[in-house]
Amino acid sequence: MMTDLVTYTFDNGIATIAMDDGKANVLSTEMIVQLNTAFDKAEAENAIIVLTGREGMFSGGFNLKEMQAGPNEAMILTSKGSKLARRILAFPRPVIALATGHTIAMGAFLMLACDYRMIADGDYKIGLNETMIGMTMHNFGIELARYRLPKHYFNRCVFNAEIFNPKGAVHAGFFDRAVPAEQMAMAGPIAAQMFAQLNAEAFRNTKLRARKADFAIFDQAIKDDLDPTKIHAV
């Protein structure tokens, strides 16, 4: 029996997509399938998206059981995560991220793909821990980090696997704002209402035009990540 890992609610032009697997909100194949289904619904309803997690946890990254099943399984799951992030980067309406807690590895990459990103201020860890846990970062992840993170933080985040608290993660470029916990309930709707003031067509066209050259880089990176001969290429 399939478990609901993602809930979708729609109200007044805003689609709230929330991940909750009861644990670390890992990005498994099934979680990614359900997220894509939710994004399909939001796109059909021409909705502004608020992407969030459960209390204390946005996402701890990829499902390690799937990643450790074998090189091919890891490669395929990584590609699915990259394609989801790429979809968010190209989504025609604003995608607002509301991190409710820890945001690690692929969870942090989803943050980097969103248009406006907030996190609850608290005792939470944010960062790209791949080199800390013995994983060579995938090409897409490197390019997305290069695109969104400030240059003087790139090495600290990508090579050094530095982990930040919410306020530090704002400085590092993972988030735009750290929000006091008591304001989190209204932070997403208020941000969505602000984005609703923008002309939808102008937003979509500007977003796609501004990222045209970057999409070519991202698409090549996704392709390279599926080519075993290029894993160690320099």
Tell me the per-residue pLDDT of 52-93, one tens digit each, with 9 for 90 and over.
999 999 999 999 999 999 999 999 999 999 999 999 999 999
C-alpha–C-alpha distance, residues 166 and 168, integer Å: 5
Q: Token pair 């985040």 is at which residue?
A: 157
Q: Is 104 exposed, middle or buried (0-12, 13-18, 19+ CB in 10 A)?
A: buried
What pLDDT is recorded for position 174?
98
Beta bridge partners of residue 27, listed in sequence order: 62
Q: Report pLDDT digits (tens) over 1-39.
A: 457 999 999 999 999 999 999 999 999 999 999 999 999
Residue 41 located in a structural domain: yes
110: domain range?
A: 6-195
What pLDDT is recorded for position 228?
75
Q: Report pLDDT digits (tens) over 96-112.
A: 999 999 999 999 999 99
Query: How many angstroms separate the Cα of 108 from the Cα of each of 41, 92, 196?
Result: 23, 21, 25
What pLDDT is recorded for position 1?
41
What's the DSSP call for residue 231? T
What pLDDT is recorded for position 234?
44
Residue 167 located in a structural domain: yes
Residue 202 located in a structural domain: no
Residue 234 located in a structural domain: no
Q: Are 191 and 118 in contact (CB under 8 A)?
A: yes
What pLDDT is recorded for position 195?
97
Residue 219 located in a structural domain: no
Residue 220 located in a structural domain: no
What pLDDT is recorded for position 2?
53
pTM: 0.96
Q: How many domains does the chain contain in total?
A: 1
Across the range 41-50, mean pLDDT stands at 98
Q: Report pLDDT digits (tens) over 174-193.
A: 999 999 999 999 999 999 99
Residue 226 located in a structural domain: no
What pLDDT is recorded for position 233?
46
What pLDDT is recorded for position 230?
67
C-alpha–C-alpha distance, residues 132 and 136, integer Å: 10
What pLDDT is recorded for position 201?
98
Residue 39 located in a structural domain: yes
CATH of the domain at 135: 3.90.226.10
Asked if pLDDT for residue 231 goes beyond 70, the answer is no
What's the DSSP call for residue 137? P
Across the range 206-234, mean pLDDT stands at 88
